[in-house]
Amino acid sequence: MQYDAVIFDLDGTITESAPGIMNSVSYALNSMNLPVPGEDVLRAFVGPPLVDSFMRFIHLSEADAHTAVKKYRERHTVIGWKEALVYKGMLRVLISLKRAGVYVALASSKPLPLCEKTLDYFGLLPLFDKLVGPEYSASSSDKELLIKQALPEKYNRACMVGDRKFDMDGAKRAGIEAIGAGYGYGSREELMDSGADYYAETPDALLKLLLPEDKHAPGFFISLEGSDGCGKSTQLRMLTDFLNSAGASLTVTREPGGCPISERIRSLVLDVKAMGMTDECEALLFAASRAQHVRDVIRPALKRGDIVVCDRFVDSSIAYQGAGRNLGPWVREINERAVDGCMPDLTLFLDLDPDEALRRRISANAADRIESADDGFMRRVYSGFKNLQNEAPKRVISIDASGEIEQIYTRIRQTVIDRLVQLSIRTGNSEG
C-alpha cells in the first residue's frame, strides 16, 4: 500500500539551505563579538531549533542564545532565506505526490512565516496541503508535536521525510514511518540509528519509495517563441535559472540545433553565405533538424521526467516559413512527421511589435540570413505567431514583451508555475 500522507521537513529535505543558515549564524556571532567556529560546526545548525543549537554548539547561556537568534534573523529574514536552492528532482517528487492524490504537508522547526515565504518564492506553496512550524516568538519546537499537527485527520499510511535525527525520532514518537533524506545534512548512520525505516540517497530514490513508477509525473515541455529581438534569450535564461533553483530536473535546448546533427544544419541554414537557398529548402532543413532533435533530445528527456525548455520549436517554422516565406499549410504537413506527435505542453509567445523587435535585434548583432529578409517578412512572421495563438489559446500564451525585463519575467514565471500546478492536479482529483 502506498503512502496517502507524506510530511516533509524543509531545510536539508526540500531546500539546500545551508549557505544562508551558516552565513546568518556567522553574522550573529560577529555581531556579538564572538568567534565564528569552523564549517562543520556551522553546518550542524541546519535542522535543529536555533536556540538549542546556539546553546549546544557555541555554549551560550539561554539568554545569550535568544540574543543570537535575534541577530541571526536580522540577516536571514532579509537575505539568508534567498540563499537556498531546492534539491534537484524535488519538484517532480511533489508534483507526482499531488497527481496521485497524496496529502502533502510540511513540519519544520523553521518559523512558519519563513517556511511559507520560502515555498512561495520557489513556486512550491500550492503543492502543499498544510504547513506547520513555530512562530518567530517560539523559543523551541517539539518535532513530534509539529508532525502530529501536520498530519490529516484520517490516513492509512503516513511517513515523515527528513534529513536529521530529530525528524526520525519525531516521526517514530508520532507513530508514523520515517524516511531519511540521505542527500541532506545528516549522515546515513545518524538517520538509521535514530529510527529511519527507509533511506533515500537522492530525490529520485525518494520518489521510488513514495510512489509506484506508473504514478511518477511525466515530463513537461515548454517552448519559447517570438520574433527575433523580442528578448526571448534573456527570458529563457531567467526562466531556466528559476526552474533550476526550484528543483526541476531540466533539459534546456534550442532550434534549429539541440543535438550534433541538428547543430550542423543550423550552421548551414543561418549562414549569410547561403543566400541562394530556396524557401522550400530552408523549410525542409528546419524539419529535418527538428526530426533529429525530437528523437535524440526532447523525447528521451520527457520520458525520464524532465522539464524541457526549448528556444523555438515547430511554431517558428509555421510562422517563419509558413507565413513569412508564404509557404502556407505545406510547412505544417512536413513537420507533422518531424515532431511525430511531440508538441509542447506550454508555449510562451513573447509578443512584441515586429518593427521594434527587429530594431533591437540588429542594434545588438549583425543580422543573420533569415533576419536579412525583406521589410514585410518579419511582419508576416508576427502575424503567423498571432494566428497560432488564436488557434491554440490553451497552449500558446501571449506574454507582453514590451515592458521592463523583470516585469516580463514575472509574467512568465507565474504562467509556468500555474501550469505546473495544473499538472499536479491533472489526475489527483479523479483519483481522490
3-state secondary structure of 189: helix
- pLDDT for residue 230 is more than 80: yes
**Per-residue pLDDT at 133:** 95
The topology (CATH level 3) of 18-83 is: DNA polymerase; domain 1 (1.10.150)
**Are domains 5-14+85-215 and 220-431 of this chain identical in fold?**
yes
Determine the pLDDT at residue 347: 98
Residue 428 has pLDDT above 50, yes or no: no
Cα separation, 19 vs 216, whole angstroms: 31
**Interval 56-71: pLDDT, tens:** 999 999 999 999 999 9
Can you give the pLDDT at residue 270? Answer: 86
pTM: 0.88
The alpha carbon torsion through 415, 421, 426, 430 (nearest 10 deg) reads -140
Band of pLDDT at residue 215, cut at 50, 70 and 90: very high
User: What pLDDT sits at residue 431?
Assistant: 36
Residue burial 61-78, b: 16+ Cβ < 10 Å; e: rest: eeeebebbbebbbebbee
Rounded to the nearest angstrom, the gap between the alpha carbon of residue 402 and the centroid of all alpha carbons in its chain is 25
117-131, 289-303, 368-382: the lowest-pLDDT one: 368-382
Q: Dump pLDDT digits (tens) for 311-320.
A: 999 999 999 9
Q: Let me know how long the chain is.
A: 432
Superfamily of domain 220-431: P-loop containing nucleotide triphosphate hydrolases (3.40.50.300)
Superfamily of structural domain 5-14+85-215: HAD superfamily/HAD-like (3.40.50.1000)
Strands (E), 48-96: 85-86
Segment 146-195, tens digit of pLDDT: 999 999 999 999 999 999 999 999 999 999 999 999 999 999 999 999 99
CA distances from 171 to 183, 284, 311 (A): 19, 60, 45
In the chain, what are the domain boundaries?
A: 5-14+85-215, 18-83, 220-431
Flag whether pLDDT at 369 surpasses 70: no
